[in-house]
Amino acid sequence: MTETEAPSQHRVMHPDDGVNVGAIGLGIHVRLTGEDTKGAYSLFEYVVPPGLGGPPTHIHTREDELFICTKGKVRVELDGDEYIVEAGASLLMPRGVPHMFHNPFEVETRIVAVVSPGGLENYYRALSELPPGPRDMTRIGAIMTEFGLQLQKKD
């Protein structure tokens, strides 16, 4: 390899690779960061326990999200419509569209999430640094604002 050639960026991702920055009751495994992909996307695996309420309805102002369910199923509300995303199915959630997800079912759900552009891992890291205990929505709201997310107010 010459000095002008960039080293190969390919890699195999194994099930236990990455860092778990779990927050708000979710396992959030960061598989690839925006830095790893030159800002193109981030790659996560979400582990959603049975009965988890999930995040409140929110809007991403910066990112599109693609959910690919690999185990179980998850209920997603997207722009007022409800979807049950089962293993093998995927759902695109464009930026600017209110959404939330939760697992009201009796089995663990696993979701691979491709988030573009990259960088959402910084939001998850900030959430994971909150002290344990009940959700402090004032603090969570401030973190969301910092990273370009907005809580969707109920009418």
Please list the pLDDT of the chain residue by residue as tens digits (155 residues). Answer: 444 545 557 788 887 788 999 887 889 999 999 999 999 999 999 999 999 878 889 999 999 999 999 999 999 999 999 999 999 999 999 999 999 999 999 999 999 999 999 999 999 999 999 888 787 888 988 999 999 999 887 65
The enclosing domain of 40 has a CATH number of 2.60.120.10
Domain hosting residue 141, numbered range: 28-149
In a domain, 5, yes or no: no
In a domain, 138, yes or no: yes
In a domain, 62, yes or no: yes
Supply the DSSP string of the chain, one letter for each residue: --TTSPPP---PPPTT-SEE--BTTBEEEEEE-TTTTTTS-EEEEEEE-TT---PPSEEESS-EEEEEEEESEEEEEETTEEEEEETT-EEEE-TTS-EEEE--SSS-EEEEEEEESS-HHHHHHHHHTSPSSS--HHHHHHHHHHTTEEEPPP-
Separation between Cα atoms, residue 90 and residue 102, nearest integer Å? 15
In a domain, 22, yes or no: no
pTM over 0.75: yes
Per-residue pLDDT of 1-43, as tens digits, reads 444 545 557 788 887 788 999 887 889 999 999 999 999 999 9
In a domain, 14, yes or no: no
Number of domains in the chain: 1
In a domain, 18, yes or no: no
In a domain, 15, yes or no: no
In a domain, 4, yes or no: no
